[in-house]
Amino acid sequence: MPVIGAVADDLTGATTTGVLLARSRAKTAVFFNEEAAEKASGAQRLDAILVSSNSRALPPEEAYEKVRSATMALKRMGILYFSKRIDTTLRGGIGTEIDAMLDCMDETAVAVVVPAMPQSRRILVGGFSIIDGTALINTPVAQDVRTPVYENYIPRLIEKQTRRQVGLIKLDAVLNGCEEVKKELLRERSEGSKVIVVDSITLSDVETVAKACVELGWNVVAVDPGAFTAKLAYCRKLICQEEPNIPETEDQELNKTVLIAAGSATPVTKRQMEVLCQDERVKRIPVDPVLLIDGGQKGLAEVKRAAGAALLYLDSERRPRAILFETALHGRLLDLAKEDEKRNYTDGMSANRINAGLGMIVSNVLKEAGMEKIAGLYTTGGDTMVNVCYQLGVESIEVLDYVIAQTDVGRLSGNYEGLPIIGKGGLTGNDQTAVDVVDRLFLEAGRK
C-alpha cells in the first residue's frame, strides 16, 4: 500500500522525485493526473505515488485547485507522508501550491522548504538560490518563455505567493548539526512560521534537516525538488540507501531505433542534440513549428510528413540508432507569446500545439512501426513528455533510475506496456548527455 505521496507541478518533476525513491527500492509510479492514479488497478502494490498537477504555468487560482484536488486524491488513497515537488529553478506558483496542500492538512502541518538539489548543483545559501555556481536570476530560466523567475531570495519569492508566514534557517545552523536545526525549527514555529525555508549545499545537509524533522516528530509537508523527500523517507526508515538500478545486460547490437521528441528550446538542449547528430546513425527530422501552431489541415499535414519520413527510415534494412524530431533547434527561435498574440490565442496555446504535434508524430510512428522496431523514447521538456504520453494513451510511468540527476529512466504502463522512456528537463546535463541517454535506452531495451 502506498505511504508516500507527492504532487508535482509537471511530469518531469514528478519523475525526478520518483526516481530517487525508486533507486532506494521503493516501488514507485508517476501518474499524469489524480484520476489516473485513483483508477489504476495496480496502485495498491506501490510504495510511492507521484501525481503531476501540470500547474506550473497556470494562474494562481487554477494552480491552487489543481494541487488541492491532487492532494485530496492522495489522501483518499491512504497516503501518510506528503510532498510538494517544486522545480529546481523555482518556477511556478510555489507559495500558492504550498497553500493548496497545507489547506488539506490539519493545523499541525508545517511546510519545510529545502530547494537544494545537490546532485544537479542546485543549492541554497542565505536564502539565495545558486544554480551551477550562478545566481538563479542570471541563468536562462530568468527568460523562460512561460514561467520566468525574477526573484533570487527564496523566502521573499514565496512570501509574495502564500498567505502564510515564511521563515528561514540559514546554513550556519545546518552545518552545526541536527540539534541546532531542531532548535531553529522550533524557534521559527514559535514565531508563527508555517512555511520554513532551509539552506543546504550538500546531500549531507539535506539529510541533517530531514533527521531534525523526524526527531521532532513533526507533521512535515516536504517542499523540494526531490532530495529532501527522499532523505525524509530514509530517516523514517521507509526506504533503503539510494543505489543505481542499471540493467544486467550489455548494449546489444539491436536493430532498433530511439525516437526523440525535442520540445525544449534551451541552448543546453540545442548543443546536446548537435553533439548527438554528429553520429551518422542519427537521423534528424526538422518539424515546422509554425505549421503546428496554425493547426488544422496544415498542422496535420506536417505531422503526417514528419511521421512518414521516420517510417521510411524504419523500413530500411539497417535502422537508424535514433530519429530526432525537433521544432526549435533549427531556424529562428519563435517568441511564443507573440505567436499567441498574433493569432488571438490564449496564453500558452502555441506552445501546447507544438508539443501536441510532437506527441502526434511519435504516436503515428509507433502505431505504424510497432514496438518491435523501437528501443525507447526520449523527450526533452516536461510539456513534451506529457503530450507524447497523452497521445500514446499511457496510464503512468514506472520509474527506475536516472542517467544523471533530472534525466529519468522509466517504463510505460498501459498502452505500449514496458517501453523504455527517458525524460530530461531542458536545462539539464552537459554536451554528452543526449548520447548517454540514447545509449541507456538501448541498455533498457535489453533489460531482462
Q: Where are the domains of the chain?
A: 4-235, 257-445
- Using one digit for the tens of pLDDT, what is the confidence trace for 116-139? 999 999 999 999 999 999 999 998
Confidence class for position 427, pLDDT limits 50, 70, 90: confident
The architecture CATH gives domain 4-235: 3-Layer(aba) Sandwich (3.40)
Report pLDDT for 267. 84
DSSP letters along 115-157, please?
--BGGGTEEEETTEEEETTEEGGGSGGGG-SSS-----BHHHH
Q: How far is CA 157 from the centre of its chain?
A: 21
Predicted local confidence at residue 448, as pLDDT = 66
Chain segment 88-115, per-residue pLDDT in tens: 999 999 999 999 999 999 999 999 999 9
Q: Taking 60 as the threshold, does the pLDDT of residue 87 lie above it?
A: yes
Give per-residue pLDDT as tens, 303-333.
999 999 999 999 999 999 999 999 988 777 8
pLDDT of residue 174: 98
Write out pLDDT tens, residues 230-262.
999 999 999 999 999 988 775 567 899 999 999
Predicted TM-score (pTM) of the model is 0.89
- What's the pLDDT band for 446 if we cut at 50, 70, 90? confident
Whole-number mean pLDDT of the chain? 94
Per-residue pLDDT of 338-366, as tens digits, reads 999 999 999 889 989 999 999 999 999 99
The whole-number pLDDT of residue 348 equals 85
Is the pLDDT reported for residue 335 higher than 90?
Answer: no
**pLDDT reported for residue 426:** 72
**How many other CB atoms are there within 10 angstroms of residue 244's CB atom?**
8
How many Cα atoms within 13 Å fall on the side-chain side of residue 368?
A: 16
Each residue's pLDDT tens digit, 178-196: 999 999 999 999 999 999 9
Domain 257-445 adopts which CATH fold? Molybdenum Cofactor Biosythetic Enzyme; Chain A (3.40.980)
- State phi, psi for 52 to the nearest 5 degrees: -90, 125
Q: Cα separation of 15 and 7, whole Å?
A: 11
pLDDT at 221: 98
**Does residue 372 carry a pLDDT above 90?**
yes
Confidence at residue 329, expressed as pLDDT on a 0 to 100 scale: 80
| Helix 349-369 / helix 382-392 crossing angle, nearest 10 deg | 50
pLDDT in tens, 153-173: 999 999 999 999 999 999 999
- Report the distance separating Cα 235 and Cα 178, nearest Å: 12
Task: Please name the residue that has the C-alpha cell 540559514.
Answer: 170
Q: Using pLDDT thresholds of 50, 70 and 90, give the confidence band for residue 414.
A: confident
Q: How far is the C-alpha of 309 from the C-alpha of 286, rounded, in Å? A: 10
pLDDT digits (tens, 9 = 90+) for 2-46: 999 999 999 889 999 999 999 999 999 999 999 999 998 888 899
Q: How far is the C-alpha of 127 from the C-alpha of 171, rounded, in Å?
A: 9
Identify the weakest region by mean pLDDT among 68-77, 394-403, 418-427.
418-427
Do the bridges between strand 110-113 and strand 420-424 make them parallel or antiparallel, or are there none, so unpaired? unpaired
